[in-house]
Amino acid sequence: MTDTKVPSRVFPRAKQDAETAKHGVSTPQTENPAYRLAFQDMDFLLREDLRPVRFQLELLKPELVLEEANIASTFVFYGSARIPSPDHAAAAVAAAPEGPARAVAESLAAKAHYYEVARELARLASSFPVDEAGKRHFVVCSGGGPSIMEAANRGATDVDAESIGLNIVLPHEQAPNPYVTPRLSLQFHYFALRKMHFLLHARALAAFPGGFGTFDELFELLTLIQTGKIAPIPVLLYGRAFWERVVNFEALCDEGVISHRDLNLFTYVETAQEGWDVVRDFYRDRGDPIVP
């Protein structure tokens, strides 16, 4: 026997069988849903008792996408979807009727500068060099929506870098912002899995003024760090005046429900460079090799 080459596989790939199954003969048996290949049967995959399988798929797919893109770590951006960009702030105020609606529009417009701050911070993070193994670090990751999220993805685009958008299916129609890299634009059904993917590779996080969604994601992260479930990472709170007005952290300490040392879990910052310096110093102080 002179040919010693051993085939890498003997069974056909699933993709091959899927194609074969599409062009099979038509009989009462083959037309019945029971005959469909399990992984091609949407009615089967969407059954209530298949939820654990869907959890697995939604956990696995983004992980494979990021691995294939050589993404080792991310810089996560949270913030309101309602803050206008500086270009649209004045028009938003002018379009609002007099009274409470106008006051709200003015309040949001006053935060418009955070759009540019998020954009510049994303530029700084996206300019971080690739490591010796070809892995990328501090890749911008947002919720994929408008406003602060758009600014983050846009900042990455400014320096010709890819960025991630983690969208979620919502009752009202919505789409990823145009600056998310298409191959890194991911959509989730389960909030729990989306939350996990925000933090699995996060090595820094910036929270800009925001509402329930921002609070939800931010306080979950702070809880995970506080309880030791994950190692500390730099957590940047942009807009000290906003955060101190809407959350009385000192009162939580005074009430005894958190410790004063828990206030060290985050850092108030205002500018993009200030935030990036906090991240850089955090890892330098720990001698982490990913920071030059």
User: What's the order of all strands across the beta sheet hosting 164-168?
Assistant: 185-188, 164-168, 139-142, 74-78, 202-207, 235-238, 267-269
* Residue 163 within a domain: yes
Look at residue 2 in the predicted model and tell me its pLDDT: 61
pLDDT in tens, 236-275: 999 999 999 999 999 999 999 999 999 999 999 999 999 9
* Residue 91 within a domain: no
Look at residue 289 in the predicted model and tell me its pLDDT: 55
Please give the residue range of the domain that contains residue 202. Answer: 56-84+114-285
* Residue 48 within a domain: no
C-beta atoms surrounding 265 within 10 Å: 17
Angle (CA) 54-47-25 rounded to 5° is 100
Q: Tell me the whole-structure pTM to 2 decimals.
A: 0.91
By three-state DSSP, how is residue 35 classified? helix
Number of domains in the chain: 1
Among 80-89, 138-147, 266-275, the least confident range: 80-89
Look at residue 236 in the predicted model and tell me its pLDDT: 98
* Residue 69 within a domain: yes
Among 118-122, 174-178, 180-184, the least confident range: 174-178
| CA diameter of the chain | 90
Look at residue 248 in the predicted model and tell me its pLDDT: 97
Round the average pLDDT of the chain to a whole number and report it: 93
Look at residue 282 in the predicted model and tell me its pLDDT: 95
* Residue 13 within a domain: no
* Residue 292 within a domain: no
* Residue 109 within a domain: no
CATH code (residue 220): 3.40.50.450
* Lookup: tokens for 141: 């990751």
How many Å apart are CA 58 and CA 189, to the nearest integer?
8
* Residue 290 within a domain: no
What residues are paired with 136 via a beta bridge?
A: 71
